[in-house]
Amino acid sequence: MDNFLTNIYKWYNLNKRDLPWRKDSDPYKIWLSEIILQQTRVEQGKNYFNRFINSYPTVKELALAHEDEVLKLWQGLGYYSRARNLHASAKIIASQYNGEFPNDYKSILALKGVGPYTAAAVASIAFNLPYAVVDGNIYRVLSRFFGIDTPIDSSKGRKEFQEMAEELIQNQDPGMHNQALMEFGALQCVPKSPKCENCPVVDSCFAFKNNGINQLPVKEKKTKQRHRYFYYYLYDMGDSILLDKRSGNDIWQNLYQLPLIEHEKALSDSELLKADPPLKSSEINIKTISAQKKHILSHQIIHAKLIYLEVQPNFNNPSPLIRVNKKDISKFAVSRLVEQFLQETGLGQ
């Protein structure tokens, strides 16, 4: 086991990426990077990290931001609950800790949107505390090297891998240890076609010796995806359009969107022409109906169309819909799906 870690550490020192959140041990930057990278590739995440740090250099400044500003900055990353939780936690840090990031595992874990993995990452990297992280990369490295076939998405598997990770962590530099294992999984022991030919631990790797690279790690559950059918209506009033703000406990909460009707099944264009739009008027002209767009989320597949309506400038829109000048559309945080529809109509950013 010691040789395994020694070789991983040597590999890390030679191959680690130059990432902006590795420049120092600022817990705010490390926390921000971990939240962004929960569901985002590093290359895309770097750009968003830099945007946030440029806009909000400290957690106090993030706490003072308006939620709409935070969501707009997050636009395109998806999983928007991360942004809302990030903002809520910044407010907690500002009010309860006087803007100083909490420096113990339990307090970090108590922040909104922070689970055991993120708490361990921040505690170990920022404060050198011996808490082991277990993410997808580490599941893959440990399952292959040690030959663990317990499903990683089972309670037994999560416990077994966590115990293994805790057994491996070194007290002298837990932050480096965690980053080395994660980086090794991200760059070397990758999901498909890992670089076994120049792997520093291949001679002792169970999966390589037993031709089991493609069988490990094991998952027992398949994600069930729900199909939904969205019909967006663009009310073009000359120099303005109508937007709505999503509410409730659903996808894209608190983001803006075009007026929407959801149906239980896909509707043909002829059926859409017969269907009632969200807002009725005797002076509505249907300009176009878009082709159906497929938008895939982790647990849902959205099938969407855009119905482009021309209406008179004096069209009376009821609350809570808001009239937005076309020049100001870019100021509103919208989902990637709505952004694509707006771009296709020439209204996007």
Residues 20, 50: contact at Cβ < 8 Å?
Answer: yes
349 lies in a domain? no
Given this model, what pLDDT does residue 290 score? 95
CA-wise closest residue to 180 among 123, 132, 111: 132
Domain presence at residue 220: no
Q: Is 34 a catalytic residue?
A: yes
- Dihedral sign (CA 8, 13, 18, 22): positive
Residues 295, 209 share a domain = no
Number of domains in the chain: 2
For residue 314, what pLDDT is reported?
83
- Domain residues for the domain of 295 are 226-344
Asked whether residue 16 falls in the same domain as residue 60, the answer is yes
| CATH number reported for the structural domain that contains residue 98 in this entry | 1.10.340.30
345 HSE (CA, 13 A, CB side): 26
Domain check: are 203 and 250 in the same one? no
Give the global pTM: 0.86
Residues 10 and 81 placed together within one structural domain of the fold: yes
| Confidence at residue 349, expressed as pLDDT on a 0 to 100 scale | 57
Q: Which of 34, 67, 163, 197 is catalytic?
A: 34
Do 123 and 195 sit in the same domain of this protein? yes
In the chain, which residues have pLDDT < 70? 1-2, 348-349
On the question of a cis peptide bond just before residue 27, with omega within 30 degrees of 0, the verdict is no
> Got the DSSP string for 139-196?
HHHHHHHHT--S-TTSHHHHHHHHHHHHHH--TT-HHHHHHHHHHHHHHTS-SSS--G
pLDDT digits (tens, 9 = 90+) for 191-201: 999 999 999 99
